Amino acid sequence: MFGDLPILSIITFLPVAGIVILLFIDSKKNSLINTVATATGFVTFILSVPLFFAYQENTGGYQFVEKYKWLESFGISFHVGMDGISLLLVLLTTMLSLIAIISSYTAITSRYKEYMITLLLLQVGMTGVFLAMDLFLFYIFWEIILIPMYLLIGVWGGKERVYASIKFFLYTLTGSTMMLIAIIYMAYMVKAQTGTISFDFIDIFKLKIDPSIQVILFLAFALGFAIKVPLFPFHTWLPDAHTEAPTAGSVILAGVLLKMGTYGFLRFNIPLFPDATVQLAPYMMWLSIIGIIYGALMAMIQPDVKKLVAYSSVSHLGFVMLGIFALNEEGLTGGILQMINHGISTGMLFLLVGMIYERTHTRMIEDYGGIAKAVPVFATFMMIASLSSIGLPGMNGFIGEILIMTGAFLSRPVYGILAASGVILAAVYMLWMYQRVMFGPMKHAKNSNLKDLNFREVAILIPLVALIMWIGVYPQALTVKYQKSVKDLMQLKSSRISSTADSIKN
């Protein structure tokens, strides 16, 4: 379909072109900046859509692979490719980035040009993370994201933005430093085993690693990823970052950034350290379950809508992790689907909260009450997003959660049972919040003049609603795309378990 076109590089670096153009634009010309930024996001998104159809799900594996020489003497190359899992995540990234750009037209009032540049830079990093097939390249993209995100929170954030941004930065940096050490260690391991140093996935996946070292490496990687997810108890940066970030920042953060953590677990921890994975999976699952319930309980008592949604993310990402570490096909399929679902549903929730914040400049639940009467369209969308978030059958969240819980249950019934209790709590905090915000008599007279959503806002929500319904009714459309990848992953995992066991015996 694409012939020799380096489509993945184009998708990754197209936003850079947008950034370059933006640099030459007068920062007062907001509408021109809008046009350029939106066009960049839009073209990138449009270019990424055909990938969905071009990806051969029956062949599986990495497709559209590109490899260029880079730092040859260190075994580093620019190597990108896409499998079923990254396919969906890249599409999610390009879509949410575009939505984030459009959602910011009126929300951001200062340093508009720089803001758009930051968003586009963020997109480069995120796309790169999901496409990299070289550990060093992966790490670079991983770290690139930190800077624009830091700026996004720290410059365009709320009252406590400096605290939140520094907390975010230090938390994530701590994790990724551990990961960097492990990455370098593994590159040298390749050298020890084959003679040439290499950061390439293909070489690293052939490594034979002693189980005891696997555990250490697993933990080093896991720390980096777990903070990003965030897995309990590394979650406290999330509520602050989410609350303080501007709307688009929250959308990107919840929609894509958190997925980088779970993606990392899928891509590296499970296939690279299979023995450690099997050994540590119960702990990871317990942490996930604690996260599910803990996040839900914390969400329940938040007086701040955005913080509530942030804690609900902790709960949902707990589900994703639970599915992944159930280490069976149901769990993995559900976990991956739930990554996409969470991006859509929670992304939508943050968008909605942002839209109402723009009108009232408050995020406190008690400042609302009864506004459904003033903003019926908003209330409808909020209802859909909330229901999707609590996993109502017929919507996307249900499919992911039922698969995850089945997977967990098959792994060990108690996991499934505890996870299912999270479903009740989700209904409690979400509907309680909804009721306090939307229903009842109008609590504050000034809210009765609220303007309902305008055309632009509805236009960016409609695609999300369509996706919510589509995935809920016909999840097969997405799951077939990565079914082979999940099977490959499990195959790789089990084959490496036996091979390491053999090598130790010998």
Q: Per-residue x/- marks for another protein, 169-208, CB under 8 A?
A: -xx-------------------------------------
> Does residue 403 bind another protein (CB under 8 A)?
yes
374 binds another protein (CB under 8 A): no
Among 196, 393, 454, 501, binds another protein (CB under 8 A): 393
Instruction: Give per-residue burial for 130-153: e unless 16+ CB within 10 Å, then b.
Output: bbbbbbbbbbebbbbbbebbbbbb
Crossing angle of the two packed helices 396-411 and 329-360, in degrees rounded to 10: 140
**Spatial distance between the Cα atoms of 468 and 84, rounded to a whole number of angstroms:** 20
By CB under 8 A, residue 372 contacts another protein: yes
d(CA 13, CA 369): 45
Asked if 327 interacts with another protein (CB under 8 A), we say: no
CB proximity list for 128: less than 8 A, separation 6 or greater: 12, 80, 137, 138, 140, 141, 144
Q: Which residues contact 382 (CB under 8 A, 6 or more apart)?
A: 349, 352, 434, 437, 438
For residue 67, which phi and psi values (nearest 5 degrees)? -140, 125
Residues whose CB falls within 8 Å of the CB of residue 149, separated by 6 or more in sequence, listed in order: 122, 168, 249, 252, 253, 257
Report angle CA 408, 410, 416 to the nearest 5 degrees.
Answer: 40
Binding segment (CB under 8 A) for another protein, from list 54-62, 86-94, 277-285, 435-443: 435-443
Q: Which of 440, 452, 458, 470 binds another protein (CB under 8 A)?
A: 440
Q: Does the CA dihedral 401-403-408-412 come out positive or negative?
A: positive
Site string for another protein, 149-168 (x = CB under 8 A): ------------------x-
Give the whole-angstrom CA distance, residue 299 versus residue 314.
9
Torsion of CA 345, 246, 91, 175, to 10 degrees: -100
d(CA 93, CA 95): 5
* N- to C-terminal Cα separation, the chain: 47
**Region near another protein per CB under 8 A, out of 1-9, 27-35, 100-108, 369-377:** 369-377
Alpha helix stretches (DSSP H) within 231-328: 237-244, 247-252, 258-264, 270-272, 274-300, 305-326
Stretch that binds another protein, among 119-127, 217-225, 421-429, 452-460 (CB under 8 A): 421-429
Instruction: List, in sequence order, every residue forming a beta bridge with 80; answer none if it has no partner.
Output: 66, 132
61 binds another protein, rule: CB under 8 A: no
Nearer to another protein, 32 or 431 (CB): 431
Query: Is residue 65 within the footprint of another protein (CB under 8 A)?
Result: no
Query: One symbol per residue from 99 to 138: x for binding another protein (CB under 8 A), - otherwise; what is it?
Result: ----------------------------------------
If binding is defined by CB under 8 A, does position 147 make contact with another protein? no
User: In whole angstroms, how close is the CB of 114 to another protein at the nearest point?
Assistant: 22
What is the H or E stretch that residue 71 is in?
strand 63-71
Cβ closest to another protein, residue 17 vs residue 300: 300
Q: How crowded is the C-beta side of 310, counted as CA atoms within 13 Å?
A: 23
Task: Please tell me whether residue 367 binds another protein under the rule CB under 8 A.
Answer: no
Candidate list 1, 20, 46, 417; residue touching another protein; CB under 8 A: 417
- Please give the Cα distance from 346 to 430 (Å, whole number): 12
Does 469 interact with another protein (rule: CB under 8 A)? no
- Please tell me the count of residues contacting another protein according to CB under 8 A: 56
- Are residues 227 and 104 in contact, defined by beta-carbon separation less than 8 angstroms? no
Among 52, 105, 286, 439, binds another protein (CB under 8 A): 439
Q: Least distance to another protein from the beta carbon of 461, Å? A: 14
* By CB under 8 A, residue 286 contacts another protein: no
334 lies in the site for another protein, by CB under 8 A: yes
> Shortest Cβ distance from residue 484 to another protein (Å)?
13
- CB 330, min distance to another protein, A: 4
CB 411 within 8 A of CB 285: yes
Of 164, 266, 298, 461, the one binding another protein (CB under 8 A) is 298
Kindly indicate which of the ranges 213-221, 282-290, 367-375, 462-470 contains the residues binding another protein, using the contact rule CB under 8 A: 367-375
C-beta of 254 vs 308, nearer to another protein: 308
Task: Please say whether the dihedral angle defined by the alpha carbons of residues 117, 464, 52 and 313, taken in this order, is positive or negative.
Answer: positive
Residues within the interface to another protein (CB under 8 A): 167, 170-171, 233, 235-237, 294, 297-298, 300-301, 328-330, 333-334, 370, 372-373, 387, 392-394, 398-399, 402-403, 405-407, 409-410, 413, 416-417, 420-421, 423-424, 427-428, 431-432, 435, 438-442, 473-476, 479, 483
